[in-house]
Structure 1
Amino acid sequence: MGLRKTLIAAAVLVLAGQAAASSDHVMAEKAVFSPQENARLLSTLNGERSKHGLDADHGYAIIQQHPGVKGTAITRLNHTYKGVRIFESESVVVTDDGGNIVSETIDERRNAVAGKRLDVTPVLSSKEAIAGVVRTVAPAGEHLVKPTAELILFPLVKSARVAGAESKAEEDLNAVDLEDVVEGYQLAYLVQTRMDKADKPAFYNTIVSASDGAVLKQWDMMQSVAGTGKSLYSGTVPLETTLSGSTYKLLDTTRGTGGTYGGMAITNSNHTANAGSIYTNSTNIWGDGAAYIPGGSTTNANGQTAAVDAMWGLKNTYDMLKNVMGWLSLNGNNTATSIAVHTNTNYDNAYYMDSCKCMFIGDGGSMFKPLASVDVIAHEMGHGVTAATSNLTYSGESGGLNESASDINGEATEAYARAGGTGNVLPWPSANDWATGKEIAKNGQPLRWLWKPSKDGKSPDAWSSTLKNLNVHYSSGPNNRMFYFLAKGSNSSSSSEYYSKYLTKAPLAMTGIGLDKAYRIWFKALTTKFTASTNYANARLKVLQAAQELYGTNSAEAKAVQRAYAAINVGADIAE
């Protein structure tokens, strides 16, 4: 018998043949450029090298292309020197249906190369670079994904004070008082290793000198929420499944194409670090609505509950992105994704892996219940959107913005799901709790409070020059607070958790613009303006540009962006 898609509820079967409603509010899609169109774009950009002080050794390499709004397309390009990528030096180009450039956002770390002649011949081989990293990270580990080593020009960057800020006390610095200055470059390898180390993931990106193998920089790539059909969290929910013969699969082929499974799928890790196989059942009724019993079956009704929650979260994230933003799946090109549940044993974490565009969800241990609440699933899927677009480097301030982007995606999806999971706008007033992971915490304390990040005792409420030294789950705090103020506004009372001492203009309590507008502005900046090296000061400029393009140069929305960033010590406050 052929495959047949079926709408189900976890406890109530929906009539066979009922069609899933599709949105007519999706962005107009622009097909990926043809080779001829790409050649034209590259020719245009190369023809403008001289105005940037660059010679013929400098070039561009296309990274990603996505559909944009109103018949536009978004192309992300790396800057290259003699064919070698200059790390974190990029352009984001928006083009119209005719292939004409509408806008170009440039984050360049290539200028220090201009006029110089650099040798791009490595002494160390890529295999030697990988072997050195493996010896350091997990010599006895198992590769979950084949390791890679990419030859790059790595910028040597220092932080410098801008004119006028030279004599400011450290505690008085604003984010815009500092700038990154490239002092030079080193030929290096970007080594990416994704390993299983004693049934725990060991995911690292490492910059290795191509001359002597020295580690120049390394950061943890565990893009996780935790850091250290009767669903459990959402009651009885409808799911789309697939019937193959007489067996039902947790495979939704109505959302996403291609990928590993040809649709959105939930798989069973069964207490390993591997994805496992797709959940199957003899009936189309899934789960028991109860938390997983440690040590029990991962395939019976109790073991299925985590899979139900995962599919519900995946479905709502996909639908929110599609119906509200016109963004198809994680990469904008509708590539299907998947989630593996019951990862490892007593595992207090959840994470995203870009190589498979998939997520892994633990059952929880001492701190958490199963990590499959809607906001956690949406958080992990948010990493997929970021990886496919700005690809914010997962360390320093850019890493904090990466984590914040996922927290913001979690709140937007939670609001959408709790309001019914339909429509093309995010609800106002919003139904989300503005607290990441509150439902999964055994002690009822969320992982992060967006309105007052410092409630966790580790995250700051505002930018400081030391922010870049924090773990990315904590350096995300100020931007989370910015987004809360942008959507909901602040309070003028110094005793309030919603107060900011940096808001000094009238009114002292800034006015929020609502979750829908705030998310649209943020999403536009993230997907069309941010690049890998974007920091807090740069983010403010790009989010402001997005607001001005969407709502007008002097609009209330643009003013709200300036005030929301001022509230976290990024830029100056203005009057409304």
Structure 2
Amino acid sequence: MIVVGVQTGPAAARPDDSARTAAAAGTVSGRPDPGALPAKLSPATRAELIREADAAQGATARTLGLGAKEKLVVKDVIKDVDGTTHTRYERTYAGLPVLGGDVVIDRAGSGAVKTVAKSTKARMKVATTTAAVAPATAEKAAVKAANAQGSRKTAADRAPRKVIWAAKGTPTLAYETVVGGLQEDGTPNELHVITDATTGTKLFEFQGVKTGTGNSQYSGQVTLGTSGSSGSYNLTDAGRGGHKTYNLNRGTSGTGTLFTDADDVWGNGTTSDAATAGVDAHYGAAETWDYYKNVQGRTGIRGDGVGAYSRVHYSSGYVNAFWQDACFCMTYGDGSGNAKPLTSLDVAAHEMTHGVTAATANLSYSGESGGLNEGTSDIFAAAVEFYAGNASDPGDYLVGEKIDINGNGTPLRYMDKPSKDGASKDSWYSGVGNVDVHYSSGIANHFFYLLSEGSGAKVINGVSYNSPTSDSLPVTGIGRDNAEKIWFKALTQRMTSNTNYAGARDATLWAAGQLFGQGSAQYNAVANAWAGVNVGARITDGVTVTPPGDQTSIVGQATSLQITATSSNAGALGYAATGLPAGLAINSSTGLISGTPTTTGAGAVTVTVTDSADKTGTASFTWTVNTTGGNVFENTTDVAIPDAGAAVTSPITVSRPGNAPSNLQVGVDIVHSYRGDLVIDLIAPDGTAYRLKGSSLFDSADDVKTTYTVSASSETAAGTWKLKVQDMYSQDSGYLNGWKLTF
């Protein structure tokens, strides 16, 4: 018997198991910065933050430089322990919803904007909001697209609505049509089809019903939250947002019948009692609620304290489970032959996590973002399974290992090596966005396993794993607890609706930097785990010294050079140098080289940086000391940089014979509030442009104060050289403080 007791309040918070996990797995130790973790907000506090953000949306829109026709709609607010808020907005243009226009703004406790993450940086401007094709044309195209997928439907479920489609390039006036009915396997259909309102051409499509399969292992004797009194109990968990579990009794529509019982003892552990599936679904929902609340500080799927609901016994012989935003509910089939309901713990966590994703990043359920959506649900399904600590269903990195969907006892999916299922992808490649989202999700799953546990062979809770990497280099894990916090922060505070795998790398690196610091072991492990699935480059564990480029000085003239280095190990760095020109020395604590050269000549300089773990990094360059004059040319005149305006230039006239060197030094000093929006070019006298810096969404620091090295030996030195600077996007300001050329 599965004995279920009454629980009138939420389960008590349990301590997270990061220390135990790290010790067991032999991973790198490290705890998140408490200030960067989400505060545990009550629903009332969250609602007040949303009201405040909504009241200020007009001022925020102006801060972002949005046009007069654009408005922001607050979707969610997360507040960190240190007071930083992360506000997620959707956008409208001329009153029309902008699909793919979502924005996340981070503000310090003082209210100052820290960073902005945008799903698109394209300007919201369309020639007209009057459609050239009729809604009926859009509906016809949508139904045709649904039929091509095998859907059983002949008309739109929701009439076409005009929108601005901004998720893929230039904003376009479009129709969004939702086709309902059933998919080929009996799953409800909510296919969103986007068609161009000018030409009628289909632009995009994505599925609104998020499906998944998982572990069908029953969880033994469990305690559930129920309501009522002796003689009349029901599966309503008042302590977890009023979550209810219903019996569809093989139906496919409606809510079904709320499970009731006279003695509060539910199910018998087999399919002979319909309540058994209800027990597993109800228990899975409770554990998932507790995980998000106690570990991630989120009360309820939307963070508003409201529970979703569950429906079991969907259809007959239905081998799947799914989440629907429209009903805010999870639905479970009974499996092949109605013998194994898909109501296990990890299935519940998987489906509820689709709801969390919809309430936050809202990753489009198509292409690479769809793979990330599915991968996110698998990631937190594993997290909840480990969190629950249920002896009947111990945590693992397998999906569907108990249900035997394949008929041969093998799991449905593997996180350590996804390709073991015969279809999922271990690593990224250029066409992976065309793969079914349940298989392209393997890249996210593999990354998460590598980040948590590392590469190679190991045994966890009795299960053997052996995870490879795409570059055949090892990855050191940082522990599942840390990996979960990084992914959750990236999902809820950085990812947007059209984030792809490259964007997910950026988002998780940002999250790791916030939690542990840039250059930390955890930060480097994120980069290396992504490199292990062929997304981006590795970061060397230990000391990294930024090459300063070859240097030129004038004898008798004071000079200085700051050496920049980072380490994955905490503690102070020590600096040393060999080959410095006479008169120069390096500060062993700060890395500043300074002094006055006393003799001319050129020589090789090597800087060595040592960290607290006695790991070293080096950088070598040439330092030339010339006679007085003729080597440095400078323009110190301030030049304003228009916000999202035309490019500006600053000239320097050079008078020296011969060609420019292969290591021409371009010193740039720009004061700016968001350097990521800047594009900087050096223009040679003959008009040739050398790109020094491009724009980057996640390059959110202030100012540009650095020296670039340009191979300009093909250019004549004499003539007018120009520095060209353009601010590509709105909401910031700055000026060119000066620049110089060193020959």
Residues 11, 286 of structure 1: 8 Å contact kept:
yes
Evaluate the alpha carbon distance shift between residue 99 and residue 233 of structure 1 in structure 2; reply closer, same or farther with a 3 A threshold.
same
Cα distance per residue 1:267-298 (max 9 Å; x no partner): 011111123121111221111112x25xxxxx
Equivalent position to 1:65, from 73, 76, 83: 76
Q: Distance in 2 between the 1:480 and 1:215 partners? A: 31
In structure 1, the partner of 2:193 is: 206
Q: Report the alpha carbon displacement of residue 61 of structure 1 after superposing the two structures with TM.
A: 2.1
Evaluate the alpha carbon distance shift between residue 35 and residue 243 of structure 1 in structure 2; reply closer, same or farther with a 3 A threshold.
closer
Equivalent position to 1:90, from 73, 96, 102: 102
Residue 478 of structure 2 corresponds to residue 513 of structure 1: yes
Evaluate the alpha carbon distance shift between residue 91 and residue 420 of structure 1 in structure 2; reply closer, same or farther with a 3 A threshold.
farther
In structure 1, the partner of 2:512 is: 547
Residue 536 of structure 2 corresponds to residue 571 of structure 1: yes
In structure 2, the partner of 1:77 is: 89
Residues 477, 525 of structure 2: 8 Å contact kept:
yes
Evaluate the alpha carbon distance shift between residue 225 and residue 18 of structure 1 in structure 2; reply closer, same or farther with a 3 A threshold.
closer
In structure 2, the partner of 1:418 is: 389
Residue 257 of structure 2 corresponds to residue 277 of structure 1: yes
Q: Distance in 1 between the 2:260 and 2:327 partners? A: 21
Equivalent position to 1:266, from 245, 257, 260: 245
Residues 330, 351 of structure 2: 8 Å contact kept:
yes
Q: Report the alpha carbon displacement of residue 219 of structure 1 after superposing the two structures with TM.
A: 2.8
Q: Report the alpha carbon displacement of residue 101 of structure 1 after superposing the two structures with TM.
A: 3.4
Residue 63 of structure 2 corresponds to residue 39 of structure 1: no
Q: Report the alpha carbon displacement of residue 137 of structure 1 after superposing the two structures with TM.
A: 3.6
Q: Distance in 2 between the 1:24 and 1:433 partners? A: 19
Equivalent position to 1:189, from 146, 171, 175: 175
Evaluate the alpha carbon distance shift between residue 63 and residue 441 of structure 1 in structure 2; reply closer, same or farther with a 3 A threshold.
farther
Cα distance per residue 1:503-549 (max 9 Å; x no partner): 5xxxx422101110000000000001000010001110110000010
Q: Report the alpha carbon displacement of residue 148 of structure 1 after superposing the two structures with TM.
A: 5.3
Evaluate the alpha carbon distance shift between residue 13 and residue 521 of structure 1 in structure 2; reply closer, same or farther with a 3 A threshold.
closer
In structure 2, the partner of 1:424 is: none
Residues 213, 399 of structure 2: 8 Å contact kept:
no
Evaluate the alpha carbon distance shift between residue 574 and residue 34 of structure 1 in structure 2; reply closer, same or farther with a 3 A threshold.
closer
Q: Going by fraction, where is helix more abundant, 1 or 2?
A: 1
Evaluate the alpha carbon distance shift between residue 66 and residue 444 of structure 1 in structure 2; reply closer, same or farther with a 3 A threshold.
farther
Counterpart of 1:238 in 2: which secondary structure?
coil
Counterpart of 1:446 in 2: which secondary structure?
coil
Evaluate the alpha carbon distance shift between residue 239 and residue 37 of structure 1 in structure 2; reply closer, same or farther with a 3 A threshold.
closer
Alignment RMSD: 3.1
Evaluate the alpha carbon distance shift between residue 438 and residue 72 of structure 1 in structure 2; reply closer, same or farther with a 3 A threshold.
same
Residue 358 of structure 2 corresponds to residue 387 of structure 1: yes
Residue 219 of structure 2 corresponds to residue 234 of structure 1: yes
Matching residue's letter, 1:281: D
Residues 103-252 of structure 1 correspond to what in structure 2 (within 5 A)?
103-111=115-123, 118-124=127-133, 126=135, 129-130=138-139, 133-134=142-143, 137=146, 141=153, 147=158, 149-155=160-166, 157=168, 182=169, 184-196=170-182, 200-226=187-213, 233-243=218-228, 246-252=231-237
In structure 2, the partner of 1:489 is: 454
In structure 1, the partner of 2:471 is: 502
Give me the TM-score of the superposition, normalised by structure 1: 0.79
Evaluate the alpha carbon distance shift between residue 74 and residue 191 of structure 1 in structure 2; reply closer, same or farther with a 3 A threshold.
farther
In structure 1, the partner of 2:396 is: 433
Q: Distance in 2 between the 1:560 and 1:379 partners? A: 25
Q: Distance in 2 between the 1:555 and 1:206 partners? A: 44
Q: Report the alpha carbon displacement of residue 13 of structure 1 after superposing the two structures with TM.
A: 6.0
Sequence identity, in percent? Answer: 36
Cα distance per residue 1:313-347 (max 9 Å; x no partner): 10100000100011111111122111100001100
Counterpart of 1:341 in 2: which secondary structure?
strand
Counterpart of 2:513 in 1: which secondary structure?
helix
In structure 2, the partner of 1:5 is: none
Residues 329, 336 of structure 1: 8 Å contact kept:
yes
Range moving further from structure 2, 198-207 or 334-343: 198-207
Residues 126, 173 of structure 2: 8 Å contact kept:
no
Cα distance per residue 1:160-184 (max 9 Å; x no partner): xxxxxxxxxxxxxxxxxxxxxx2x3
Range moving further from structure 2, 147-156 or 563-572: 147-156
Q: Report the alpha carbon displacement of residue 130 of structure 1 after superposing the two structures with TM.
A: 4.3
Counterpart of 1:223 in 2: which secondary structure?
strand
Counterpart of 1:76 in 2: which secondary structure?
strand
Q: Distance in 2 between the 1:189 and 1:279 partners? A: 41
Range moving further from structure 2, 439-448 or 267-276: 439-448
Q: Distance in 1 between the 2:479 and 2:497 partners? A: 28
Evaluate the alpha carbon distance shift between residue 78 and residue 502 of structure 1 in structure 2; reply closer, same or farther with a 3 A threshold.
same
Evaluate the alpha carbon distance shift between residue 554 and residue 500 of structure 1 in structure 2; reply closer, same or farther with a 3 A threshold.
same
Q: Report the alpha carbon displacement of residue 225 of structure 1 after superposing the two structures with TM.
A: 0.8
Q: Distance in 2 between the 1:367 and 1:21 partners? A: 32
Counterpart of 1:538 in 2: which secondary structure?
helix
Equivalent position to 2:410, from 445, 451, 456: 445
Cα distance per residue 1:457-508 (max 9 Å; x no partner): 1111100001001000011111110000000001299xx94121415xxxx4
Counterpart of 1:195 in 2: which secondary structure?
coil
Q: Which has the larger radius of gyration?
A: 2
Q: Going by fraction, where is strand more abundant, 1 or 2?
A: 2
Give me the TM-score of the superposition, normalised by structure 2: 0.62
Cα distance per residue 1:14-68 (max 9 Å; x no partner): 4x7886554499834243336564232431332341xxxx6434x2422412343
Evaluate the alpha carbon distance shift between residue 499 and residue 37 of structure 1 in structure 2; reply closer, same or farther with a 3 A threshold.
closer
Matching residue's letter, 1:249: N
Counterpart of 1:516 in 2: which secondary structure?
helix
Residues 88, 109 of structure 1: 8 Å contact kept:
no
Matching residue's letter, 1:121: T
Q: Report the alpha carbon displacement of residue 373 of structure 1 after superposing the two structures with TM.
A: 0.9
Matching residue's letter, 2:55: A
Q: Distance in 1 between the 2:404 and 2:333 partners? A: 13
Evaluate the alpha carbon distance shift between residue 486 and residue 400 of structure 1 in structure 2; reply closer, same or farther with a 3 A threshold.
same
**Which runs of 5 or more structure 1 residues have no equivalent in the other structure?**
1-9, 158-181, 257-262, 294-301, 422-429
Cα distance per residue 1:330-368 (max 9 Å; x no partner): 111122111100001100010000112101100001698
Counterpart of 1:322 in 2: which secondary structure?
helix
Matching residue's letter, 1:483: F
Range moving further from structure 2, 275-284 or 467-476: 275-284
Evaluate the alpha carbon distance shift between residue 124 and residue 28 of structure 1 in structure 2; reply closer, same or farther with a 3 A threshold.
same
Residues 72, 95 of structure 1: 8 Å contact kept:
yes
Q: Distance in 2 between the 1:392 and 1:65 partners? A: 15
Counterpart of 2:128 in 1: which secondary structure?
coil
Q: Distance in 2 between the 1:101 and 1:185 partners? A: 26
Residues 46, 60 of structure 1: 8 Å contact kept:
no
Matching residue's letter, 2:127: L
Evaluate the alpha carbon distance shift between residue 349 and residue 142 of structure 1 in structure 2; reply closer, same or farther with a 3 A threshold.
farther
Residue 499 of structure 2 corresponds to residue 534 of structure 1: yes
Residues 320, 413 of structure 1: 8 Å contact kept:
yes
Matching residue's letter, 1:221: G
Cα distance per residue 1:241-289 (max 9 Å; x no partner): 0116731101101001xxxxxx111101111112312111122111111
Counterpart of 1:557 in 2: which secondary structure?
helix
Residues 348, 366 of structure 1: 8 Å contact kept:
no
Residues 159, 178 of structure 2: 8 Å contact kept:
yes
Q: Report the alpha carbon displacement of residue 439 of structure 1 after superposing the two structures with TM.
A: 1.7
Counterpart of 2:189 in 1: which secondary structure?
strand
Q: Distance in 1 between the 2:10 and 2:278 partners? A: 21
Q: Report the alpha carbon displacement of residue 186 of structure 1 after superposing the two structures with TM.
A: 3.0
Q: Distance in 2 between the 1:450 and 1:367 partners? A: 27
